[in-house]
Amino acid sequence: MEDYSVLIGGQAGDGIRQVGTLVARLFSSLGYRIYYWDDYPSLIRGGHNFGLIRACETHIQAYRESVDIVVALNEETAKKHQWRLRQGGMLIYDEDVFKAEGCGLRLTSMVKDAGGKPVMRNVAALGAIARSLGIEWDVLEGVIKTAVRKEPELNLKIARTSFDAACMPEFKVERLSAPALPLIQGNEAIALGAARAGLKLYVAYPMTPSSSILHFLAANEEELGLVTYHPENEIAAVIAAVGGAYAGARTMVGSAGGGFALMVEGVSLCGQSEMPVVFAVSQRPGPSTGVPTYTTQGDLSFVLSAGHGEFLRLVLAPGDPDEAFLLTGLAMNMAWKYQIPTFVLTDKNLSESTYSFKSKGDEVTREEGLIWDGKGEYKRYRKSEGGVSPLAFPGTKGIVVKGTSYEHDEAGITVEDPEGISSMQDKRLGKRVALLEDLERMDTVKVHGDVKAKTALLTWGSTKGACIETAESLGLKVIQPTVLEPFPVASIEKALEGVEKLIGVENNATAQLAGLLRCHGIRVDETILQYDGRPFSVDGLKKRVEEVTA
């Protein structure tokens, strides 16, 4: 099987992310499927940044530890990652900066001689990567012309110089017959899924790793037909979102753990006032500021219980961009169908990594909620058999549209009597019956690998990719719930038929999904946990699975 990996590293300010994306595009143009993990500290300058790009002839969603090429723009990269080079691999480095064994090129001098900026060493590195992989110049030229908008001719000149000077390849990357697929980050898929389902207002205070949802939507407001709003803090963001929903705009907010913590009272406001707001929560290591630019799955329990009081919510956990696109659309449609807060729970790995995107884009459509027909007296919280009240919005002639945080009657007037309190709570929680019926018709639990295997890996979110490859190599089953509230107990139990050993695999320290299963009477026999801020590699996970199955 054709399977290549390239690592390029330097410090913040060296343009590592940009060249990593170009390497991904280079492979993708030849028909390869891509996973690109971007590793960077919370620094504007300095530190150690690297990107690990994996290209394979089959669909992949995780990285392998060993690589074919390490490109070092500084000595630290060579020292940190030399161990990753597989036999026959190549170190490419800037010999103007340091000396090492491998393919030394005067990248700094090439850029200077061409009249370029220092950051353009990344494009010089790109030329060397292409030549060292045996990729023809016209392929690289096409990628640069398509993807590089600033000074394309100068970038082409620099890339050509390094391409001609690079070491001859030990192997040749062949063009595949498969068509090239678009490349997308998880946050971009979340943004597009929401837009396809009718998003009109996105409100967020930037917080890594959710920030690129805001950046992407702001850059494409006109094309997508929506508005983005960056308020002064996360409390303002959630209240503005509630206001947008009250006014009739399909609204989403985005944040990470610390920012979402500030939004929690607003979540309860959505529950009481029955305001349909989508929350995109991207996880990073905590507690407190934690490690802002790395990944975790530590906020599951938090999101499941965020808010005071008892109210209905829907929590969805995509494992890749295709699922992120579909499930964000579902979150938007279900929020408006049932007038509840819904959550798309992701993590830094999925949010900011780059993947090949299989979706055609038409799998998500806007589904309308229950809108008032204009007949009779309007009551915002009118009781109905399923608990869903017809929606109307301020400005509708002749009616008053209430929205309240206080317990209320059908018209939205405050109540404190026992019957009024319990009656309205029954109305809101009664929506759960229809929501469960909807979910039962959906694929809420996915099964991968050998469906007849007696040993299964239980996982959620972006750990899915490493689990699937590990399971395929070891003949195991993978069970992946994509809906975490209401928890799909029956679907989990069906997926577990024939399984004698269940191993939980999570990017957290307390096995939160395994704990959720135990709450529903389902035993998890072993757990494999990783909580160092990095996603599982295929190699590392396979080794640990073998240890607990030996």
Give 41-62 as a DSSP string.
-S-SSEEEEEEEEEEESS---S
CA separation for the pair 318, 324 (Å, rounded):
5
CATH architecture assignment, domain 185-356: 3-Layer(aba) Sandwich (3.40)
Q: Where are the domains of the chain?
A: 3-165, 185-356, 445-549
pLDDT of residue 84: 97
pLDDT of residue 26: 97
pLDDT of residue 375: 92
What is the DSSP pairing of strand 67-72 with strand 277-283?
unpaired
pLDDT of residue 115: 95
Please determine whether the domains at 185-356 and 445-549 fall in the same fold group of CATH. Answer: yes
DSSP secondary structure letter of residue 177: S
pLDDT of residue 346: 98
Helical H runs in 166-299? 186-196, 211-219, 221-224, 234-246, 257-273
Residues of the chain with pLDDT under 50: none
pLDDT of residue 170: 74
DSSP secondary structure letter of residue 274: T
pLDDT of residue 548: 96
pTM of the model: 0.97
One-character DSSP codes across 354-399: EEE----S-S-------B--S-S---TT---TTSPPPB--TT-TT-
3-state secondary structure of 37: strand
Both tokens assigned to 87 = 């036999």
pLDDT of residue 45: 82
Q: CATH number of the domain at 3-165, please?
A: 3.40.920.10
Q: Per CATH, is 445-549 categorized as 3.40.640.10?
A: no
